[in-house]
Structure 1
């Protein structure tokens, strides 16, 4: 009955929206100083998922767009300052965008992952946008690529294939990953569980720092990673790209092919990606069985019309990851470069359907996102039959209604709901089978006047977690639980543009995170961490109180930002080993007893604060000196000691030289130094201090012409001095879960050279 009701409402919206009048928006892009037309400038409307390029005379046409309403339009062109402008589509006057030549192309960018799409200068959320080219380098996964680009962002790593995002010291279920408008659900509680998304499918990624619970509910305590797929091309065109690279350290081969088209508003896209790597090389040798292979297929079918758009996105992600089940004293390294994975290993599969819709009603609109995900995580010990097998199905709904703007006020109301159903299909048990229900609603309003914006919002949530009782051989393994959590969140934001170069933004608010089923009901050996985890069914939700402020500057030869933040979290949840407690179990593969440190979930009050920023100097137009920095200090206030798994302070410096070379475009030479400082503020119950280190990097690249098609070729090098080091957040470093033998640890990757190319193409 519920499905029938939802279907009826959906088709009613389509029929009503179908009466929307089709409209054509025309315009031109020119040089602001010379008035010369700019050929190939990209004009996009993010809220409509469309993009066109200017013709030989600098003109563009946006077809089948709404005849009413105001939309943010972004115009981009190489060596020119990006334009972000709100346009009234009801106006019949052709648009004229006059672009200013600048060594800084994207000081002002569009942010879509907040309640209302807007330029970064009028958006109070601290955000960094990472483009497609920045995701194509020598990284091994999406999170690894972002960690090298975004201040305040780092990663918890397990070998080369698994990276968990960390934003301002918060990770696991405190960071939301969003793709196709749907929250990624895939066992985020686990240390060795990565993000099941193809790093090459993104057109760009927005990293929102700070609480985003107002829009996304529980789990968005630390921030949001919003992955945005390519927009639909202009009507009557087919576009595509092929890219590939090879890395010497682990023999990593990346290959990805994409095609997309638009025929009279019927749009489609398909992509296939394959990655394969053998064990990675450290200065001490190849770390045993650390290779991986990964296959991803994703695509979209939909329509773009005057009434809005409706897109069905689908993806299949499969990865196999090798592990070395080492004991203290084992030889960790070998000289083998075989691409055949030995046991133990992981077999991870993620299936997803996302139905994204935007229905436009005059000056109002309704965005509706429906999602289904199946996440299957198998851990194999010594044969193809998994000993541990999580199978999670998640259904989700997210709706936002944007009311008609009046006198500078922009109101939005939203509703979300999800249902998660997880079962255990393996012989080893860690987390009970569970059902998770959540519903939430929010109201948000934004006021724009002069050079100021003010925003405020409230959200209410209800979450229920039901863990199922389970017996094995007559012995109770899981007692079961039924927890209900309610919450009220609020947020305030303010921005002020002093002039075209200087702006200020600030936020304050409260947010929450409900305990996840692993924290509530774990009772078993977590093989990836070599510890016995015990949940706590009486955990209360985390409550966050945080504020941040950022000053941004961008003009001429200097651009940069500096921000400070503080986040006090009441009832912060984490697992710890107290009194050196150990539990002995019978290993199912050897039938021998084995002892593990026992980690019990508990709660403390925590305070995290720090600063982050970037500074880029352009002494001359062809020289760029780029710098990013961040530092987080985190304290366990209840026991007066540091929190665990907090990144060390880091300073990235890159000098980029872009001379004009005849016959080439976008030629560059770069050299960089990554400075990671000591991390002595550690939780001594299972961490040891991490030394600081410095890495030397370099790169060179250029774009050639193959007829009318550009071909980008690049070479990049990381850790060129082949330095031995342990990253503070590497799960394989000494002292992490293995204090009984401080020599037990694996170095991070040594020298790595990556060779790659990128070839975009298109046709009418």
Structure 2
């Protein structure tokens, strides 16, 4: 109760911060046009450099923005997708400006904010970071937002468990080593699980940023491999007009039907947004397996936010609700026909190799199987940023709750096997001192408090626990002439506590149940009490040197820190959704990484290019190893479920990423893109030295991947269809022969090439309404393939099959259509 009172008090104080921030200001207005067509640059972003203040131009390219007092030399940064940014100095004697944007040199001038103290142009930032614009997100049709980002960021991949479950991996590392942010709030939703996806509304993501490499300096533990930062839509208009956006899509392969709606308004002081979406899909299909049983889902989202903007900054209060019924495939089949089967019995009565075949009606239905996950995720958070003198401060306070039920009992469908509730309080404070002598100095503190409870379940892979993270950091940036140098240091502490946790057999149904103290009759101690603390220091230093206006060289060295997660130190039970029994190790110590990055980036009139090299050593690397008997056969503590135990050693990863974008000035609207990513990961533990696939290589390492696309935008004289776009791309993944064969954890994965095509058009429905229609075909030739990053590849109960195929294949040909209508 005291924690709830304190949280409400902090929430109240956080919301009323703007009362202290009033001062006089001036209003700057202007217009923005495109240089080639002289047309208005509608919805162009205009921001006040080195602050959080910004606006967006209206349908006619007009804008207004308030400049707070106390800024001696204000600069406006004008950003528009596909055009060179423009930096405009605001002079004392002028309040109205005309701005013309030029379509060139855009890549190095994009502005990012993740992992930084202030908004910074990419070319000045030594950290490897990628920006994914709203235009790219809208024109990339995939099953979920993580897959959308993976198609556009070299070095970012996803480990999949069906179409709607994708876990981000950056440069070969994932799970609790990649931190996901939603509007600056770290996502906490039992992300340790193999089949646990990201709980966000893909239709409400305006843009994204991806940090590749240790980001522990700003975010602490769990950002050792990098950060995926998702930004929901926020209105920047200040005219008080209510605007809306409707999105609808259909995908043929799994019959996905998705609809989303958003309404928003922004005035001189207040702004608000309301959004909701509903996505429903049945089982996906491919040429080998037909429809893959229990891969459908039913996902709902709601979100609301209200913000107040004063002359010195802003306060935003946001709420989100996520609800998903998600199928849990297990891959059981009939041995001869290879048709999927379903579980109808429990324990020793369940003969996995002789289950009944799933009917065609069930395979083609939108109905979710009784054996499924039910995930609910709620967020409430307040963000504030205000000028204090010539500096500024930001304050974050948030609460989120994740409720996860996994139903795995066919004889009692309403009884969840796993039922956990995780509450998280996020907090953060940062102060950016006034700039002096070309120096920008920031310091802050952030962290979280967690409370995890097992509810009415039968399986208990992790105990009840409380966790407190506290981290403080300092960051400094120096810029002069062609040089930018930035770096910082951070210290983190994590305390984890849990009490004795007893389990016994329920005499009524024979399932497990928690035995509550003091009555522990006929029970066993599944989790002994836990009292552990972890701490560590993170460091980062890097530099960017502008070789010319068009070419920059970046070097960065970082030390990352990650405390062991609860499953890694304390798990001892079945995760029914993953079909894995996890066993932790309480003797683990934190992981520390040491990564070096070097890259060269160029932005020229007709093309942009970049080459990045990296090397990463991870000390005390934590990994899963399958438990086997003396003959090397997997041990099944529970029937049909493999057993894995966490181990600790060391790892080394190195690789490269390249990107090339060609925009010939002589061929207006033509763009050729090619991205390449390659990484090698090795377990450097002494016992695996020179063992190759028998232990030397790390699991889930992506192969060489090259994505090449050709797109063309054509402006037409038509008033109804002013612009069309077409795109074709080739997605190549090489054979992965560096795999972890030890205990049959992985097998060799043949390479494959997928062809995709898209066609879109703008539709001028009225003078102020420009709709978009996008058609896309993924896997045009319906090629049957398996990715080594798909967990479904290893969902197999037989050693051989009549058709020569083992495991589950990925999605086949998929026709898609998406319609976006603003109003």
Q: Normalization by structure 2: what TM-score?
A: 0.87
Q: 1:68 aligns with which of 57, 67, 71?
A: 71
Q: Residue by residue, what CA displacement relative to the aligned partner does 1:315-338 show, whole Å, maximum 9, x if unpaired?
A: 000111112333365545564310
Mapped to 2, the partners of 1:8 and 1:347 lie a distance apart of 33
Is the alpha carbon distance of 1:233 and 1:8 closer, same or farther for their aligned partners in structure 2, counting shifts above 3 Å?
closer
The CA deviation at 1:4 is 9.0
Mapped to 2, the partners of 1:409 and 1:738 lie a distance apart of 61
The CA deviation at 1:456 is 1.5
Mapped to 2, the partners of 1:197 and 1:320 lie a distance apart of 14
Q: CA contact under 8 A between 2:123 and 2:552: conserved in structure 1?
A: yes
The CA deviation at 1:497 is 1.7
Q: 2:189 aligns with which of 186, 190, 210?
A: 186
The CA deviation at 1:96 is 4.4
Q: Residue by residue, what CA displacement relative to the aligned partner does 1:524-582 show, whole Å, maximum 9, x if unpaired?
A: 12223333211001111001001101111111211121101111000000110254465
1:576 aligned onto 2:607: no
Worse-matched range after superposition: 562-571 or 95-104: 95-104
Alignment-derived partner of residue 42 in structure 1: 44
Moved over 6 A (4+): 69-72, 736-739
Q: 2:432 aligns with which of 402, 405, 429?
A: 402
Mapped to 2, the partners of 1:5 and 1:706 lie a distance apart of 48
Alignment-derived partner of residue 218 in structure 1: 221
Mapped to 1, the partners of 2:171 and 2:62 lie a distance apart of 43
Alignment-derived partner of residue 589 in structure 1: none
1:597 aligned onto 2:632: no
Q: CA contact under 8 A between 2:326 and 2:374: conserved in structure 1?
A: yes
Worse-matched range after superposition: 229-238 or 506-515: 229-238
Mapped to 1, the partners of 2:36 and 2:580 lie a distance apart of 65
The CA deviation at 1:12 is 8.2
| 1:103-182 alignment, distance < 5 Å | 105-113=106-114, 114-136=116-138, 137-182=140-185
Is the alpha carbon distance of 1:32 and 1:95 closer, same or farther for their aligned partners in structure 2, counting shifts above 3 Å?
farther
| 1:564-713 alignment, distance < 5 Å | 564-579=613-628, 580=632, 582-585=634-637, 594=639, 596-619=641-664, 620-638=667-685, 639-640=688-689, 641-663=696-718, 664-685=721-742, 686-708=745-767, 709-713=769-773
Q: 1:301 aligns with which of 300, 306, 311?
A: 306
Is the alpha carbon distance of 1:750 and 1:600 closer, same or farther for their aligned partners in structure 2, counting shifts above 3 Å?
same
Mapped to 2, the partners of 1:79 and 1:533 lie a distance apart of 48
Mapped to 1, the partners of 2:297 and 2:166 lie a distance apart of 13
- SS of 1:732's partner is helix
Q: CA contact under 8 A between 1:715 and 1:755: conserved in structure 2?
A: yes
Is the alpha carbon distance of 1:599 and 1:401 closer, same or farther for their aligned partners in structure 2, counting shifts above 3 Å?
same
The CA deviation at 1:3 is 5.9
Q: 1:250 aligns with which of 251, 254, 258?
A: 254
The CA deviation at 1:23 is 3.0
Alignment-derived partner of residue 482 in structure 2: 451
The CA deviation at 1:104 is 6.0
The CA deviation at 1:499 is 2.1
Is the alpha carbon distance of 1:64 and 1:302 closer, same or farther for their aligned partners in structure 2, counting shifts above 3 Å?
farther
Alignment-derived partner of residue 590 in structure 1: none
Mapped to 2, the partners of 1:490 and 1:161 lie a distance apart of 36
Mapped to 1, the partners of 2:302 and 2:17 lie a distance apart of 31
Q: CA contact under 8 A between 1:244 and 1:756: conserved in structure 2?
A: yes
* Number of equivalent positions: 748
- SS of 1:297's partner is strand
Q: Which protein is richer in strand relative to its size?
A: 1
| 1:199-598 alignment, distance < 5 Å | 199-235=202-238, 236-284=240-288, 285-327=290-332, 331-333=338-340, 335=360, 336-381=363-408, 382=410, 383-425=413-455, 426-473=457-504, 474-579=523-628, 580=632, 582-585=634-637, 594=639, 596-598=641-643
The CA deviation at 1:491 is 0.5
Worse-matched range after superposition: 2-11 or 136-145: 2-11
Alignment-derived partner of residue 591 in structure 1: none
The CA deviation at 1:657 is 2.2
Q: Structure 1: which 5+ runs fail to align?
A: 587-593
- SS of 2:567's partner is helix
Mapped to 1, the partners of 2:9 and 2:771 lie a distance apart of 51
Mapped to 1, the partners of 2:310 and 2:820 lie a distance apart of 31
- SS of 1:143's partner is helix
Is the alpha carbon distance of 1:463 and 1:254 closer, same or farther for their aligned partners in structure 2, counting shifts above 3 Å?
same
Mapped to 1, the partners of 2:429 and 2:462 lie a distance apart of 31
Alignment-derived partner of residue 811 in structure 2: 749
The CA deviation at 1:98 is 4.4
Q: CA contact under 8 A between 1:14 and 1:359: conserved in structure 2?
A: yes
Mapped to 1, the partners of 2:185 and 2:672 lie a distance apart of 37
- SS of 1:659's partner is strand
Q: Residue by residue, what CA displacement relative to the aligned partner does 1:208-255 show, whole Å, maximum 9, x if unpaired?
A: 111110000001011111111223332222222111110110111111
Q: CA contact under 8 A between 2:331 and 2:807: conserved in structure 1?
A: no
Q: Normalization by structure 1: what TM-score?
A: 0.93
Q: CA contact under 8 A between 1:66 and 1:360: conserved in structure 2?
A: no
Q: CA contact under 8 A between 1:21 and 1:67: conserved in structure 2?
A: no
Worse-matched range after superposition: 25-34 or 741-750: 25-34
Q: CA contact under 8 A between 2:11 and 2:382: conserved in structure 1?
A: no
The CA deviation at 1:26 is 2.8
The CA deviation at 1:161 is 1.1
- SS of 2:123's partner is helix
Mapped to 2, the partners of 1:320 and 1:39 lie a distance apart of 42
Q: Residue by residue, what CA displacement relative to the aligned partner does 1:712-757 show, whole Å, maximum 9, x if unpaired?
A: 11100000100010011000114x6868568541110000010111
RMSD: 2.4
Mapped to 2, the partners of 1:707 and 1:97 lie a distance apart of 26
Q: CA contact under 8 A between 2:53 and 2:313: conserved in structure 1?
A: no
